[in-house]
Structure 1
Amino acid sequence: MINMKETINHYLAAWNEKTATAVKAAFQKCCTPDVTYTDRNAPTYTEEGGFVIKGIDLLTALVMGSHAKVPGRAFSLLTMPQYFDGHCHYSWGLHIPGQDEKAGWDYIVYNEQNLITRIVGFLPEQV
């Protein structure tokens, strides 16, 4: 990876893919195999029941669950990632058909290869 903008673009593209195979392939470009993810709604979209999701397979399941619960939703980058020394944050937009765009943001920890190791998502209140 050249920089975190490229990494984040791959990450958001994964959330917009429609099949589990495509989602997983996109995550493999930008995340470590043992990546962790958390947000306040994580248990709603997975069978695991906890707030922390670990690994690309469970992260892929989270994305597919979110497509099932919110059909047609899509994410976009709202602000350029700010990053240094393994830490990154940026804002994203959530587009749900028939609703106004909602904004959220992610805090990310990444390794020396600019692969994501940890994601903490901050969702809009209405989601």
Structure 2
Amino acid sequence: MTATTDLADRYLAAWNETDPAARRALVDDLFTADVRYTDPLADVEGRDGLDGLIAAVQAQFPGFVFRLAGPADAHHGQLRFTWHLGPAGTEPPVTGFDVAVTDDDGRIRTVLGFLDRVPSPA
């Protein structure tokens, strides 16, 4: 199944969901059981690992939300998109892009994340 651009919206919705049970339901629906997520700061496997990572990011950046920074591009089971992370309505302090690879059922099995802009340590 070819990845679709609406997958980026669903992906970011999972990262933005702060209710643990609702977030876990999104993770279970969207990702394969053996999903692997890798970025410069994290490397986790499985839905439990990803759900824990999302919770940790939310704890580190309370009140911040992920949003698309432009159109998503999808083909052949692959999806790439740029995102912003920051308080709603402000210039985002964090920007990155992700590449997601789906399985034959359209679930995300791999995410490769890149950070383009991060705040300087205090």
Query: Which TM-score applies when normalising by structure 1?
Result: 0.81
Other-structure match for 2:117:
125
Greater relative contact order, per chain length (Cα 8 Å cut-off, separation 6+): 2
Residues 94-103 or 4-13, more deviating: 94-103
**How many positions carry a matched residue from both structures?**
118
Matches of 1:90 and 1:109, distance apart in 2: 12
Other-structure match for 2:34:
34
Query: Is the 1:19–1:64 Cα contact (8 Å) retained in structure 2?
Result: no
Which secondary structure state, in structure 2, belongs to the residue aligned with residue 123 of structure 1? strand
In structure 2, stretches of 5+ residues that fail to align are: none
Query: Which TM-score applies when normalising by structure 2?
Result: 0.84
Other-structure match for 1:91:
82
Other-structure match for 1:46:
none
Matches of 2:45 and 2:40, distance apart in 1: 15
Q: CA RMSD in A?
A: 2.2
Name whichever structure is richer in strand by fraction: 2
Query: Is the 1:80–1:90 Cα contact (8 Å) retained in structure 2?
Result: yes
